[in-house]
Amino acid sequence: MTVQVWLAIILFALMVGVGGKKGARSFVALFLNTGVLLLAIIMMNDPDMNPIVLTLFACVLISCISLFYISEINIKTVTAFISTIVTTGALIFFILELTDAAMIQGFSEEETEEIGAFSLYVGVDFVKIGASMIIMSTIGAIIDVTIAISSPMQEMAYHNPTISRKDLFRSGISIGRDILGTSANTLFFAFFGGYMGLLIWFKDLSYSIGEIVNSKVFTSEMIFIGAAGLGVALAIPVTSAITAYYLVGRRDRSPVPDEPPVDQ
């Protein structure tokens, strides 16, 4: 067997050993989300299809798989899903304008040698493709933040049934503040880890700091990180507000608090 197969087996064993049934569903969800992404990419090659619309449909499917398939349908996943959709929708117009203004679409100078043997007349709008890339890179971080906030907020509402909506919202914001720093660092270091070879190449070619900062490949990745960071920061108050509104409203309609679902 190849190294990839062995790594997949080890990953599956660890996820099942630590997460039980939910770990097994999480492993399957990796392949389901990959299938959604591949299908969206294939369909983008059709000139009659709008890449932005395809990306939004793919993001909805990915959110459903990551939330409802893994953690099933409950209060925390429903509020996390709504928060993800609201946050992503609020970022769409900003991402579209930013992509068009920054002119980061297409290939960079550093990539021209690798694609020189291929035709560049692919028949798709690279501005929309660039915006789709940013949306795709943002959705994963947003989903992580929304479920990481809604889940402890549900526990707080259960163990403190008299908590007010305002105090519950403040608790969500407090949780989000702790998540914000680590999420931003994760996005930042993911770029350096993935592009370490490119940075070394910049150094070997004696690129100045100005040339590195103004190169398209570097700028595009920084914009990706910035957009994802904005999505994470925006998701915190959105998730806190939606979850607090939903939990307190549900409690007022049903005085007996619902028991949080036990993860298996």
Span 44-76, pLDDT tens digits: 877 778 888 888 899 999 999 988 998 888 888
pLDDT score, position 263: 53
126-146 average pLDDT score: 83
Residues 134, 180 contacting (CB under 8 angstroms): no
Stretch among 8-12, 147-151, 186-190 having the lowest mean pLDDT: 186-190
pLDDT score, position 71: 85
What distance in Å separates the CA atoms of residue 239 and residue 153, rounded to the nearest whole number? 10
Q: Where are the domains of the chain?
A: 82-253
| Ramachandran area for residue 20 (φ above 0: left; ψ -120 to 50: alpha; else beta) | left
User: Taking 90 as the threshold, does the pLDDT of residue 237 lie above it?
Assistant: yes
The pLDDT confidence band at residue 218, using thresholds 50, 70 and 90, is: confident
Span 152-209, pLDDT tens digits: 898 888 888 888 888 889 998 998 888 887 777 777 777 667 667 777 777 777 777 7
How much is the CA Rg of the chain, to the nearest whole Å? 21
User: Taking 80 as the threshold, does the pLDDT of residue 37 lie above it?
Assistant: yes
Q: Give the closest residue to 190 by CA, choosing from 225, 160, 236.
A: 225
User: Taking 60 as the threshold, does the pLDDT of residue 264 lie above it?
Assistant: no
pLDDT score, position 114: 60
Q: Give the closest residue to 160 by CA, choosing from 254, 71, 247.
A: 247
pLDDT score, position 83: 92
Span 67-122, pLDDT tens digits: 899 888 888 899 999 999 999 888 888 887 777 777 666 666 655 666 656 666 66
Question: At what angle are helices 75-102 and 126-159 packed, to 10 degrees?
Answer: 150
DSSP code per residue over 53-76: HHHHHHHHHHHHIIIIIHH-SSHH
What distance in Å separates the CA atoms of residue 129 and residue 44, rounded to the nearest whole number? 8
User: Taking 70 as the threshold, does the pLDDT of residue 123 lie above it?
Assistant: no
What distance in Å separates the CA atoms of residue 245 and residue 194, rounded to the nearest whole number? 39
pLDDT score, position 133: 81
- CB-count exposure of residue 81 (10 Å: 0-12, 13-18, 19+): buried
Q: Whole-prediction pTM value?
A: 0.80
What distance in Å separates the CA atoms of residue 192 and residue 15, rounded to the nearest whole number? 27
pLDDT score, position 206: 77
What distance in Å separates the CA atoms of residue 13 and residue 11, rounded to the nearest whole number? 5
User: Taking 70 as the threshold, does the pLDDT of residue 241 lie above it?
Assistant: yes
193 to 75, 187, 200, 202: CA distances (angstroms) = 36, 10, 12, 15
